[in-house]
Amino acid sequence: MSVHPHPRRRTRSAKRMVATAVGTLVLLNVGLTTYLCTFTHWRDPMFARPALAFNARLEQQPNERVAIAFLGSSRTGGGIDPRLVEPLVTKHTGRPCVAHNLHVPGAGPISLLFHVQRLIALQVPVDAVIVELSPLWYAMVDGRPYEYRNPAADRLSWAEVQQAIQFGFPAEEYQRDWYQATYNPWMGYRFQWLGNLKPSWLPPNVVRHERFATATLGHRPPFFNELSAEQKRDGLQRMRPIMYAPMQTVNFDDPPGQAMRKLVRTCREHGIVVGVFVVPLSDEFRSWYPLSVNERIRTFLETLHTDGATVSIDLRASLDNTLFGDGHHVVGVGVPAYSTLLAEQVVLPVLRQSGKVAP
Amino acid sequence: MLFHTQLYLFFFLAVFVLYWAMPWQQWRVYLLLVASFIFYASWNEWLALLVTGTATLDYFLGLGIAASRSRRQARLLVATSLVVNLGVLCYFKYVNFFLDSLKATLALVGVKISVPVLEVIVPFGISFYTFEAISYTIDVYQGRVKAERRLPNFLLFILFFPHLVAGPIVRARDFLRQAERPKRWSWIRAQHGIQLIVLGLFKKLAIADCMAIYSERVFKPDQDIASLHSGSVWMAVLAFSIQIYCDFSGYSDMALGSAHLLGYKLTVNFRMPYFAPNISLFWRRWHISLSNWLRDYLFIPLGGSRHGEWRTCRNLMITMMLGGLWHGANASFVVWGLLHGGLLVSHRLYRRGCDAITPLKRVMDSLVGRFLGIVTTYFCVTLCWVFFQPSLAKATAVFERMFAFSKVGVGLPMDQNRLWWTTILLIAAHAVVSVGIWKWVWQRLPAPVIGVLCAGVFVLAQVLSTDTAKAFVYFQF
């Protein structure tokens, strides 16, 4: 309190203090909310930073370059190193290639749809998007998409929240979380801000994004370069209780499948060619899918092709078992093979068949 | 409903607006009473009824003590209050501990019994409001306070939501006087209240919750600490000492601030205890309301320091042992209490020795001596904190790892810079406050600057928050 011996002056001083405190707080909150409603991509810097870094790279490149964006979850993030893809594509097409890995851990088809919409909104001049299809993400659990909760409401714009609800996310919960984050933005977006300002101070269970946006072109190097057979077996066994049950109920007619189809149609409407690949898996992990789901995967890939995907391919059996750490994420030594596989089996066919490069 | 959640903010705002909108003091008492009941019932409505029931019983016992015709009758009523309150406390909090202790004791003499494990929900804050109720009936008996005639006022004394679940432990004579006094809105009080709430929120969200990430890697029951190197364990213990201080003092600040905004003044519970130059002063600065309660209702009735050195030391040990048991129904808390009792006894004997040697006394009273005293006290208190969790085995394991001085193992899960920066800033803040610089500056800052700073600290507290709705550590008491 100020040194004002007279009670009236102390009272006036206290009134000013309270009014200033409340007013400043309101201004700070309204200011941040307005900023986030205007620049909605900053709600989710985990996607926005690499996307803007990609855009900046494209602006520096000659017009004849081909721009490739990889979209997916941690499987794509850890498996695909654009620095290995670019020279391969350049070598086979004769054109400079600018590739960026725009994965977000935990992203399923609904999140990937939002990512494509954001790329279009940010006017990133991408030629082709290569999109991961992980069948597990197409399961419904208790009437909700399996990827429910991975795009937290605070990372979505209001329009995306409404879309998510249309695809089966619980309306009341998501809208409430969005309101709480938006109207108390310093609390609701604290991890986003801390991730930008002082990422090393983030709690250990919050995914850090800042390191990978530019230095490794979005690729998230695997934690382990190599693992022993026993460690790999343990990793696989840890996955089974979590993933086996939903893998039995995958049905592409459900909302996640509809989201993926909408993604393909959106790309087609905006002149972006799409390549869809089913992620490589180890033999044992792959064996957890029943025959009925395998048949559905095959049918769905055909459907996506009809919708407009230039390439839709099942790569589940395409990598050696020894390259996986837990059956679906590769270890460090598996990254070159994963990246080469995607470049040769998806990127190059997409570019050639769409006419983006000469056959 | 935790103090640092949005739900509490909306709840408090609603109470605040209605409270000051009411023109009559007694209606404000009723409003606070209803609000306090709702606050507690939001956890468990049956336990809210239990608290209200026992408080109502103490109200009638207080009236009975005041109206007693004989001291014998009054003593009987006090004994009834003690039996009921301590009985409820013992049942809900200590029954499984006592049964396990009985089983262990009998096993020592070769008798094997099987004891049931009772599934008992411990009412939040039971240790706090039980002590308040006991202090009331004893104070009425001893004539220190008049028996409260109005039931709502008395119930508010026990149930007042800012201090209900984790203190400070208020005295009836302090609170009841305030309850009957008409309240007038005061901007000065409002400023003070807001400053306290913002400070408490910062301590809780930005510091305590963050330190918990480090300390839980060691102190959580399922954590294996053998894989950590000794340095990590030392850092986790340091983090725990910061966590427990900021968690509890942050809560107290928010309680005091909330009370201020409603026109009530609660007792200050912490006065920079980690800057205490000796253990005796530490206990006059840490959880002040509890230390005062233990002094007035346990230490002094046992004889205090009036009957020679040996009995004083004995009384100290008993008081601290029971103080430890108050914190938790586990042998490790008893050991913690005994350790502090031992430190107090040692300090007492050391002081007598020091006072007898003038040059030594001069050195210990000098700046260097005080600094050494602060460091030593903090070090001893921090080592004692290792026992301040519900497992003696875990405490032993932590000590073993600490004093193995092993460099083999992994580090803590989060960047250690945050721990070091937090420690440095806390020390700097304490130093600035203790030499009076902070007060000098604060009194000369223009009011709008203080307002902006408060808003900034509030925002910073949220940005630095590491988790959502982590329960206050002291709620388990």
Which chain A residues are Cβ-neighbours of B415 within 8 angstroms?
Answer: 200-201
Q: Give the C-alpha distances (Å, rounded to integers) separating A97 from A23, B22, B255, B301.
A: 51, 72, 61, 85
Q: Say if residue B402's pLDDT is above 60.
A: yes
pLDDT confidence band for B468 (50 / 70 / 90) = very low
Residue B100 near residue B136, CB atoms below 8 Å: no
Supply the pTM of this predicted model.
0.86
For A240, the token pair is 């089974």
Instruction: Kindly report the number of other CB atoms within 10 A of residue A107's CB atom.
Output: 28
Determine the distance in angstroms separating the CA of A6 from the nearest CA of chain B, rounded to an integer: 12
Interface test with B, best of A11, A12, A18 (most B CBs within 10 A): A18
Q: Give the model confidence (pLDDT) of B67-85 as tens digits.
A: 998 889 999 999 999 999 9
Q: Say if residue A285's pLDDT is above 80.
A: yes
What span, in angstroms and rounded, lies between the C-alpha atoms of A272 and B316? 79
Which chain B residues are Cβ-neighbours of A186 within 8 angstroms?
Answer: 459, 462-463
State yes or no: ipTM above 0.90: no
| Catalytic pick among B4, B327, B340, B347 | B327
DSSP β-ladder status, A273-278 and A140-141: unpaired
Phi, psi of B268 (to 5 degrees): -65, 135
| Closest Cβ–Cβ partner in A10, A22, A203 for B466 | A203
Q: Give the C-alpha distances (Å, rounded to integers) separating A192 from A131, A180, A257.
A: 25, 15, 29
Q: Give the model confidence (pLDDT) of A73-93 as tens digits.
A: 999 999 999 999 999 999 999
Instruction: Kindly report the number of other CB atoms within 10 A of residue B388's CB atom.
Output: 21
Asked if A37 has any chain B CB less than 8 Å from its own CB, the reply is no
Q: Give the model confidence (pLDDT) of A249-264 as tens digits.
A: 999 999 999 999 999 9
**Residue B90: DSSP 8-state:** I
Query: Using the beta-carbon criterion (under 8 Å), do A17 and B451 form an inter-chain contact?
Result: yes
Q: Give the model confidence (pLDDT) of B195-254 as tens digits.
A: 999 999 999 999 999 999 899 889 988 888 888 888 899 999 999 999 999 999 999 999
The yes-or-no answer on residue B327 being catalytic is yes
Smallest Cα–Cα separation from B149: which of B170, B176, B115, B131?
B176
Query: Using the beta-carbon criterion (under 8 Å), do A21 and B442 form an inter-chain contact?
Result: no
What span, in angstroms and rounded, lies between the C-alpha atoms of B38 and B161? 9
Query: Using the beta-carbon criterion (under 8 Å), do A203 and B418 form an inter-chain contact?
Result: no
Where does residue A87 rank: exposed (0-12), middle (13-18), buried (19+ CB within 10 A)?
exposed
Sign (positive/negative) of CA torsion B228, B230, B235, B237? positive
A:143-182 residues touching chain B, CB 8 A cutoff: 180
Smallest Cα–Cα separation from B198: which of B476, B473, B451, B466?
B451
pLDDT confidence band for A210 (50 / 70 / 90) = low
Instruction: Specify which residues A275 forms β-bridges with.
Output: A130, A311
| Closest Cβ–Cβ partner in A10, A184, A203 for B467 | A203
Q: Give the model confidence (pLDDT) of B366-390 as tens digits.
A: 888 889 999 999 999 999 999 998 8
Smallest Cα–Cα separation from A263: which of A97, A114, A133?
A114
If you measure CA to CA, which chain A residue comes closest to B461?
A187
Q: Give the C-alpha distances (Å, rounded to integers) separating B347 from A286, B162, B298, B313, B336.
A: 68, 35, 20, 11, 16
Asked if B464 has any chain A CB less than 8 Å from its own CB, the reply is yes
B100-112 average pLDDT score: 80
If you measure CA to CA, which chain A residue comes closest to B459?
A186
